[in-house]
Each structure stands twice: as structure tokens, then as C-alpha cells.
Amino acid sequence: INTLTMTSEFMIALYGSFAQAESESISKNVNWGKEKAYREGKVQFQYQNLLGYRKGTDGKPEIVPEEAETVRLIYKLFLDGYSMTNIKKVLESSGTKGKKVWNESLISSILKNEKYVGDALLQKTYTLDCITHKVVRNHGERPMYLVTDHHAPIIDRDTYDQVQQELARRSSKR
């Protein structure tokens, strides 16, 4: 292809638009497949970001006892009135299993995560478009699917519900 001529430039632009259309088509097919899997209740875990669970031999989530104790401690301390900062200090000083360095947002996400009660909320995030691959939080733009009692819980449902109420109460004070 001689890029100095107008016809070659036109051909490059044409091939580029064909490639982009193909990429968008593949992206739509992938999104359709994910949506279908969500509707059927198929859950995929990100184990590297989930304290207390690992992938079991059967492919299902399996509880890691040492890390599960850390999760239970976080829930207990929160219900006992500890702030996120105080929970962070307790975890770092006691050398609990899980992370070496803790922060308030991590503790908050553990307290809000439905996976610790055995449920899985699907499609919390989605990819905005196939070109930028920007992932955004789903605030109702796409349907979300809740799969209850999917795996063994670390926290019982009553404790989880109490923590959610306390989180709401504390955030409403602000």
C-alpha cells in the first residue's frame, strides 16, 4: 500500500472501520454471553481480591479458616462500635491473617460484601465500551442478579443484616 496516494489512505480508513465494526460485534457477543450466564446464576469469583475464600477442588468457593477468622473479627469489632480507623489499628497490631497493610476502604468493602453471607450479586460493574475498556459501577443502568445461598457463608445472615443497618445509621449521621 502506497500511503502517499489518496486511494491508499481511503483503503486504510476502510479497513480500520471494518476492524472496529468487527471488534464491536465481538464485544456485543461477549456481553450477551455474560448477561446470559448472570441470568442463569453462574457466579465467577475473583479469589485474589476476596479475603476468606479460595477456589476449592470442585471449583466452588472454599473457606480459608485463618482468613475467615479475620473477617469475623472485622464484623464483631464493627458491631461493638469500633470505627474503620480503630478496626484498622486492631488488625495491624494483632498481625491477623490476610493483609499486612489495612485501610478503611478495604474494611468497609468487606463489611458491605454480600459474598461473606453466602450470596453473590452479579453485574455490579460493566464495561462502558469496547474501545476504551472502561469499567464503571452499575447504578441501575443494567440489571443486577442476586444469587442467594450460593456458597458456604463466613458470616451469619443476622450479623450481616445488623452490620448493614449500622453502616446505614452511621452514614446517615454524616
Q: What is the pLDDT of residue 155?
A: 95
Per-residue pLDDT tens digits for 36-80: 988 888 888 888 888 999 998 888 889 999 999 999 999 999 999
Instruction: Evaluate if residue 96 carries a pLDDT over 90.
Output: no
Average model confidence (pLDDT) for the chain?
Answer: 88
DSSP state string for the chain: --TTSHHHHHHHHHHHHHHHHHHHHHHHHHHHHHHHHHHTT-----GGG-TTEEE-TTSSEEE-HHHHHHHHHHHHHHHTT--HHHHHHHHHHHT-SS-SS--HHHHHHHHH-GGGGT-EEE-SEEES-TTT--EEE-SSSS--EEETT-S--SS-HHHHHHHHHHHHHHHHH-
Q: What is the pLDDT of residue 1?
A: 67
Beta-ladder partners of 127: 135
What are the CA-CA distances from residue 47 to residues 7, 62, 104, 132 (Å)?
52, 10, 20, 25
In sequence order, the 6+-apart residues with CB closer than 8 A to the CB of 17 are: none
Instruction: Evaluate if residue 156 carries a pLDDT over 80.
Output: yes
Under the banding of pLDDT at 50, 70 and 90, the label for residue 84 is very high
Instruction: Evaluate if residue 173 carries a pLDDT over 80.
Output: no
Instruction: Evaluate if residue 83 carries a pLDDT over 70.
Output: yes
Please state, for a pLDDT cut of 70, what percent of the chain lies above it: 96
Q: What is the pLDDT of residue 39?
A: 87
Cβ 124 vs Cβ 43: under 8 Å: no
Instruction: Evaluate if residue 5 carries a pLDDT over 80.
Output: no
pTM of the predicted protein model: 0.78
Cβ 164 vs Cβ 110: under 8 Å: no
Per-residue pLDDT tens digits for 98-132: 677 788 999 999 999 999 999 999 989 888 888 88
Angle between helices 84-94 and 104-112 (to 10 degrees): 100
* Mean pLDDT along residues 148-155: 92
* Residue in the block written with cell 489518496: 6
Q: What is the pLDDT of residue 48?
A: 82
